[in-house]
Amino acid sequence: MANDLFNSLMNAPDENGRFGIFGGRFVSETLMPLILELEAEYEHAKTDESFWAEMDDLWKHYVGRPSPLYFADRLTARLGGAKVYMKRDELNHTGAHKINNVLGQLLLARRMGKTRIIAETGAGQHGVATATVCAKFGLKCVVYMGAHDVKRQAPNVFRMKLLGAEVIPVTSGRGTLKDAMNDAMRDWVTNVRDTFYCIGTVAGPHPYPAMVRDFQSIIGKEAREQMLEREGRLPDTLVACIGGGSNAMGLFHPFLNDSEVEIVGVEAGGKGVDDRMQHCASLSGGRPGVLHGNRTYLLQDDDGQILEGFSISAGLDYPGIGPEHAWLHDTGRAKYVYVTDDEALAAFQMCCETEGIIPALEPSHALAHVMKIAPDLPADHLICMNLCGRGDKDIFTVARALGVEMGTVA
Ligand SMILES: *Cc1c(COP(=O)(O)O)cnc(C)c1O
């Protein structure tokens, strides 16, 4: 691959928010001024030392960063090949990586004088992170959530309410994440003056995909330093799971220019990618289109209607993928694979039993891929996977999948 391609990868997107033919800002005229205002504010904050000093302070004392880079020695011995390291972002306050980004956006909102924060959430993880930081900053928080998801994710709905957020069930469409995104955008246009729209992954119109990536890049920056310290060199392979792609982009971005580092994103293959209704693998099983203000790969039918994805992991069922991933895929810089529900479940159990860590079902997908490749790699091959969330929230799903009835376990 030519050097200028690597440089363009690091410096993307262009001034129109494009990653090659992906990304951009496909929004109504009424939204355009808001997005331009946000972009200007972010460009300013990016080079403002006081902004990053405040971020660093909160990351350290509120979130608990840096998260450890942990050598999974028993898992490595069990797999009998490459050395497996885990970036422990599941140890963050609120139990996942989402708070890295929410803190950045809400600091920005505060600088812009916004007092009301809106967000959309599917599984509820982004909603909980947003409600958390709003409580800490004393900001009003409104979370749009598909009515169907409100029922499926009752514990997260209650968490958001405890944290003082208002949760609005969305009944339009099928009552899931896509419909909640549409309603959040409508709210934003209507309440421009005091409202900030906090997006939970590397999607949405420019500048969101780049901005969310920049906030999540703390994961890759730390992992890079920690691996250099532990092993004296960079990892050979990076592995991360992909819903919208923010934890993956956060790990990958600081390594894009290091051509010797192999980069692998793992999509949710559900029951298998042959059946398009039974998975969430937008790159492996989707086509380019426009959703949520950007052009990217989407799960859609022949008429361009967005399809509802399916995965055992509620946090991976975003019907698209961040535009930067679409570009990394098409340029060949990163490779994208998928693993099925059953494979993720097996990885979940392996992680519990060999490392004493209950992972979320999302990073269990990344681990399942690690379990496939590690045995055939030499003992000095370094894998770094992102353990981006903890599994407390998933034990009920796992019990159901394993046919265990809680209360009868002895
Ligand atoms: C939300 C979530 C994901 C999926 O989002 P990305 O933007 O792809 O990172 C993955 N893992 C966990 C633990 C999550 O909460």
324-372 pLDDT tens trace: 999 999 999 999 999 999 999 999 999 999 999 999 999 999 999 999 9
How far are the Cα atoms of 57, 149, 334, 363 from residue 153, in angstroms, in the given order? 32, 6, 33, 19
Mean pLDDT confidence for 194-209: 97
Specify whether 102 is located in the same domain as 208.
yes
Question: Quick check: CB of 315 below 6 Å from ligand 1?
Answer: yes
Question: Quick check: CB of 132 below 6 Å from ligand 1?
Answer: no
pLDDT of residue 410: 61
Closest-lying ligand 1 atom to the alpha carbon of residue 250: 9
Question: Quick check: CB of 241 below 6 Å from ligand 1?
Answer: yes
pLDDT of residue 129: 98
In this structure, of 2-16, 83-97, 323-337, 382-396, the range with the lowest mean pLDDT score is 2-16
Of 153, 187, 212, the residue that ends a domain is: 212
Is 326 contained in some domain? yes
Q: Give me the CATH number covering residue 235.
A: 3.40.50.1100
Within 81-176, residue ranges assigned H as helices are: 98-111, 125-137, 147-152, 154-162
- pLDDT of residue 161 exceeding 60, the answer is yes
Q: Residue 177 — pLDDT band, cuts 50, 70, 90?
A: confident
Specify whether 88 is located in the same domain as 108.
no
Is 1 contained in some domain? no
User: Crossing angle, helix 361-373 and helix 341-355, to 10 degrees?
Assistant: 90
More confident residue, 276 or 132: 132
In this structure, of 60-69, 168-177, 378-387, 391-400, the range with the lowest mean pLDDT score is 168-177
Question: Quick check: CB of 95 below 6 Å from ligand 1?
Answer: no
Question: Quick check: CB of 389 below 6 Å from ligand 1?
Answer: yes
Closest-lying ligand 1 atom to the alpha carbon of residue 246: 7
- pLDDT of residue 247 exceeding 80, the answer is yes
Question: Quick check: CB of 388 below 6 Å from ligand 1?
Answer: yes
Q: Give the structural domain span for 266.
A: 64-95+217-404
Residue nearest to atom 1 of ligand 1 (CA): 315
Ligand 1 centre to CA of 2 (Å) is 32
Tokens 């999948």 identify what position?
401
Is 310 contained in some domain? yes
Specify whether 303 is located in the same domain as 251.
yes
- Please state the domain count of the chain: 2
The model's pTM: 0.96
CB 369 within 8 A of CB 266: yes
Question: Quick check: CB of 360 below 6 Å from ligand 1?
Answer: yes
